[in-house]
Amino acid sequence: MARPTAPTRVLDLVLLAFIGYVLVLGLRRSFLWVLLYVYIDILAPQRIGFTLITTIPVSLIAFAAAFGGWLALDRKEGARFTLRQGLMLALLVYCWWTTGHADFPVEAQTKWDWVWKALLFAIFLPLTLTTRARIEGLALVLLLSVATIVIGTGMKTILGGGGYQNLKFFVNDNSGIYESSTLATVAIGLIPMLWWFVRHGTIFRPHWTVTVFAVALTFACLLVPIGTEARTGLLCIAALAGLMLRYTKRRFLFVAGAAVLGLTALPFLPQSYYNRMSTIAQPGGDESASTRVAVWEWTLNYVAEKPFGGGFDAYRSNRFAYVMPVKQTAGNTTTVTYQEVEDKGRAFHSSVFEMLGEQGWPGLIMWLSLHFIGLWQMERLQRRWKKEEDEATRWIAPLAAALQMGAIIYLVGALFQGIAYQPVMLMLVGLQIGLHTYCLRIDSARSLLDRSTARREAITGQVRGAVAA
């Protein structure tokens, strides 16, 4: 192992100083500890550093501070436990049970060690989102933490450092949000929220500098699927474009502009990107795509025998064969032969089949219910608050739309990735719940005020009637 250099020590000290500074600030504003954990959980500074910070459990410290600060220091006014939090709690308990009965106990325990924290934090998060400032603060920290990775990825892509499984981010690791397809999905999914800040943000007020940053960050987000050559990213871009049609008044111009932009970008895309994207239309010609179909078929047969799933990493027991076309070129002649390939222990490559194989039908139903109820709630919020003109409430419907679009893009990406427990997306679920409960409190307060006003008017009318008599 190489000896630490002065720059690596300085990087560790800067990261630790920032974390320590926020911990001190949290003594007066305990919600900052919640934001600190979001920052650490997404960016993982302990994996970016080289020396001292790698030996300190900064994630555990922030996790304990967030929970402890809320219990001891937060006033908890307006906090409530909702149906979706109950679904996540039920899923957490069920995952604990399946982990104890897993087909591969050691591997299952490894995944359980981070899944339970992601689920528990998502359950806890809405309890802290009791004001607009907190909702916006969480959304901003979540967005900027991801943006830190996205900006670096975009710069490397422009400078020619991209390629499938070749684009390295802050850490030399292909897991979590640093996995290429996951980052592409998250980056595209957060674009609607980014533009919500341009129009309705109060921490950074609408200004031309904010707009310029949003344009640059949007461009970087769109570069992520190109730099990583993640096929899922292209599907997420298509989903984003389709969703934006709902909110675009000049749809013809939008479609024409998107087409022109796409055609303009084509000459600048590398040939390797074309080759990888072509496998979307011809999955049978790509080993990765072919194995996914085979694994999904195996999963359906597996849960037919074990409807309650096999616990985390149950895919390790799969074994199957599929047919792959093999091209051979001799001069100007290309021949195609079909060869049977045997494989085993291949991952699910789909959150739907990940949940189905690991947690069975009960787990899949809970997971789908969690997300579809969220889509329904965000749709109701849009329709309920879209006509608001008051500065205090006109931000609600656009934020609900941004969160709904982000959730749909995540679900599109999740169809082809095993990211059912992705922490960023579970935080997005917590943000949805927080916004929904915040709106319920406003409605409740307005209803109470209306009843009080009506009662006063009735009493006043009775007094006037008695005086007139």
Task: Find out whether 108 and 311 touch, Cβ atoms under 8 Å.
Answer: yes
Co-location of 174 and 268 in the same domain: yes
Co-location of 160 and 220 in the same domain: yes
Read off the DSSP letter of residue 330.
E
Enumerate residues 6+ apart whose C-beta is below 8 A from 170. 43, 44, 47, 48, 148, 149, 152, 178
Mean pLDDT of the region 288-316: 88
Mean pLDDT of the region 101-108: 93
- Of the candidates 325, 345, 233, 241, the residue with the CA atom closest to the CA atom of residue 280: 233
Share of the chain above pLDDT 70, in %: 79
Q: Who has greater pLDDT, 250 or 144?
A: 144
Mean pLDDT of the region 329-348: 71
The kind and range of the H/E element at 341 are strand 333-344
Mean pLDDT of the region 76-94: 93
Average the pLDDT over each of 190-204, 226-240, 446-460 and give the range with the smallest value: 446-460
pLDDT at 97 over 70: yes
155-180 pLDDT tens trace? 877 776 555 455 556 776 667 788 88
The kind and range of the H/E element at 464 are helix 423-468
Which residues are paired to 319 by β-bridges?
Answer: 344
Number of domains in the chain: 3
State which of 74, 95, 117 marks the end of a domain. Answer: 74
Domain-located, residue 358: yes
Task: Find out whether 135 and 434 touch, Cβ atoms under 8 Å.
Answer: yes
pLDDT tier, 371 (very low <50, low <70, confident <90, very high otherwise)? very high
121-155 pLDDT tens trace? 999 999 999 999 999 999 999 999 999 999 888 88
Q: What is the CA radius of gyration of the chain?
A: 25
| Domain limits for position 24 | 7-74
Domain-located, residue 306: yes
First to last CA, the chain: 97
Q: Who has greater pLDDT, 112 or 51?
A: 112
Return d(Cα 403, Cα 92) in angstroms, integer: 23
- Of the candidates 272, 182, 275, the residue with the CA atom closest to the CA atom of residue 236: 182
Q: How many CB atoms lie within 10 A of CB 64?
A: 13
Co-location of 287 and 269 in the same domain: no
Phi (first) and psi of residue 333, to 5 degrees:
-110, 130
pLDDT tier, 252 (very low <50, low <70, confident <90, very high otherwise)? confident
Average the pLDDT over each of 237-251, 283-297, 335-349, 407-421 and give the range with the smallest value: 283-297
State which of 320, 344, 368 marks the end of a domain. Answer: 344
Task: State pTM to two decimals.
Answer: 0.87
112-121 pLDDT tens trace? 999 999 999 9
Return d(Cα 137, Cα 142) in angstroms, integer: 9
Domain-located, residue 2: no
Mean pLDDT of the region 203-224: 91
326 burial level (CB within 10 Å; 0-12, 13-18, 19+): exposed
Mean pLDDT of the region 240-266: 74
Co-location of 124 and 199 in the same domain: yes
Q: Within 13 A of 254's CA, how many CA atoms are on the CB side? A: 12
Co-location of 255 and 298 in the same domain: no
Co-location of 214 and 307 in the same domain: no
Per DSSP, the three-state class of 261 is helix
Co-location of 292 and 371 in the same domain: no
Phi (first) and psi of residue 342, to 5 degrees:
-100, 140
Co-location of 256 and 333 in the same domain: no
State which of 302, 322, 344 marks the end of a domain. Answer: 344
Co-location of 30 and 126 in the same domain: no
Mean pLDDT of the region 43-69: 88
Residue in the structure block whose two tokens are 């899949």 = 364
What is the rounded average pLDDT for all residues in the chain?
A: 84
**DSSP of 32-98, one letter per residue?**
HHHHHHHHHHHH-HHHH--SGGGGS-HHHHHHHHHHHHHHHT---TT----HHHHHHHHHHHHHHHH
Amino acid at 282: Q
Measured at the alpha carbon of residue 159, what is the angle toward residues 261 and 255, in degrees to the nearest 5?
10
Co-location of 97 and 153 in the same domain: yes
163: left (phi over 0), alpha (psi -120 to 50) or beta: left
pLDDT at 50 over 80: no
